[in-house]
Amino acid sequence: MTDTQLSGSVPRQAGAKATVMGYAMKALRGLPRPVRRAVLSGATSGDLPPVADFVRMLEIAGNMPESGPTHAELIARYPSLSDVEVSDPGIQGVPARLYRRPGTDAAAALVWVHGGAFVWGDLEMAESHWTGLMLAARGIPVLALDYRKALHGVTFPAGSDDVLAGWSWAVNHPDRLGVPAARMHLGGASAGASLAAGVAKRLRDGQGRPPASVVLAYPAVHPELTGWDAAGLAAIRANRDAVYFSPEWIHDLSVHYAGAAGLTDPYAFPGVGDLVGTPPTLIVNCESDTLRRSGELYAEQLRAAGVDTTVHLLPDAAHGTLNDPLTPAGVRTVDLLSEWLLPK
């Protein structure tokens, strides 16, 4: 076999593996959640497949199999969540859930966007469902939004447009959330944080009413990861509980999401461009997370632009704490969000 033939066989082998994994994940989604949990145990950390293979797998599978706690398991662990009413608000074209505790006079509401690297995730994942339940149980109504993923040729601004549509629905239906539009906040986690921050910039620039504040959990708001040295990256990569987002992987994901020309788009990547006039912003970073540098840099940029910015660091925590609802780090993240939204 020639060198040319050999080099050409590697992508084909990788693509074949991604195809097999896609069908395996699709089959796994049809099995009971305890089975999924057992199969996926330990498989949600470490290095990620190349972006092209990851996308191919998801296009076949449809989504990652949900293996987190069921709704019943969440209620059993946190009994106060049983007081929360969950409903479909009926937003045209945007899957959403509304979380409210009946009989509560709310002081603030949150429009919330889950993460998933722009290519996976839904309203069932703990980062969306558990976050909505926990905040609503504390008296903060939550409108959780889903959005079009960057799969099957869909790219930016599709997901951003969906979040903007969900936000616009919220401010035009304050009775449904139980608070006036002036007390509505916009936030998200990971890629959802990028979507929320990007929409906040669109609103600042005249596309609607800006939120009272922006709430970001372990955000990825830049097209590139900068500021890491080899030792720092190696330390996070060695953490068996952490997903390892390499700088190369983030670059490739950014290109997949927005195209090479979109890497300078200030709405696709909120860390790009002018931040003057951004609403007050909360940022919660995880220490054992390469994306922490994006959150730290964003905080520096916001403060330089004169934006009221509060940053918290979760010691030893890996990326995605809100997807781990049975852990102290997950609960601490919810605490920080609720303390920001309902300051004492």
Q: Which two tokens stand for residue 9?
A: 């066989």
Q: Are residues 139 and 112 in the same domain?
A: yes
Domain that holds residue 41: 3-61
Q: Are residues 9 and 89 in the same domain?
A: no
Q: How many domains does the chain have?
A: 2
Which of 21, 38, 61 delimits the end of a domain? 61
162 part of a folded domain: yes
The most distant pair of C-alpha atoms in the chain lies apart, rounded to whole Å, by 73
Helices (H), the chain: 3-28, 33-40, 51-61, 71-77, 126-137, 158-172, 174-177, 191-202, 230-237, 247-258, 292-304, 328-341
Q: Are residues 42 and 182 in the same domain?
A: no
| pLDDT tens digits, one per residue of 257-272 | 999 999 999 999 999 9
Q: Which two tokens stand for residue 38?
A: 């057992």
Residues in Cβ contact with 153 at an 8 Å cutoff, skipping those fewer than 6 apart:
none
Query: Rounded distance, CA 111 to CA 17, Å?
Result: 38
- Predicted local confidence at residue 1, as pLDDT: 37
| pLDDT tens digits, one per residue of 49-102 | 999 999 999 999 888 778 789 999 999 999 999 999 999 999 999 999 999 999
Q: Are residues 104 and 29 in the same domain?
A: no
Q: Please give the chain's pLDDT, 344 residues, in tens.
A: 344 343 344 345 557 888 887 887 788 777 777 777 777 765 556 788 999 999 999 999 888 778 789 999 999 999 999 999 999 999 999 999 999 999 889 999 999 999 999 999 999 999 999 999 999 999 999 999 999 999 999 999 999 999 999 999 999 999 999 999 999 999 999 999 999 999 999 999 999 999 999 999 999 999 999 999 999 999 999 988 888 999 999 999 999 999 999 999 999 999 999 999 999 999 999 999 999 999 999 999 999 999 999 999 999 999 999 999 999 999 999 999 999 999 87
Q: Are residues 51 and 178 in the same domain?
A: no
293 part of a folded domain: yes
Residues in Cβ contact with 206 at an 8 Å cutoff, skipping those fewer than 6 apart:
none
Q: Are residues 38 and 169 in the same domain?
A: no
Q: Are residues 45 and 193 in the same domain?
A: no
Q: Are residues 50 and 195 in the same domain?
A: no
Q: Using an 8 Å Cβ cutoff, are 98 and 170 in contact?
A: no
- Predicted local confidence at residue 309, as pLDDT: 98
Query: Rounded distance, CA 130 to CA 334, Å?
Result: 10
Q: Are residues 112 and 140 in the same domain?
A: yes
Q: Are residues 84 and 195 in the same domain?
A: yes
Q: Are residues 254 and 286 in the same domain?
A: yes
66 part of a folded domain: no
CATH of the domain at 220: 3.40.50.1820
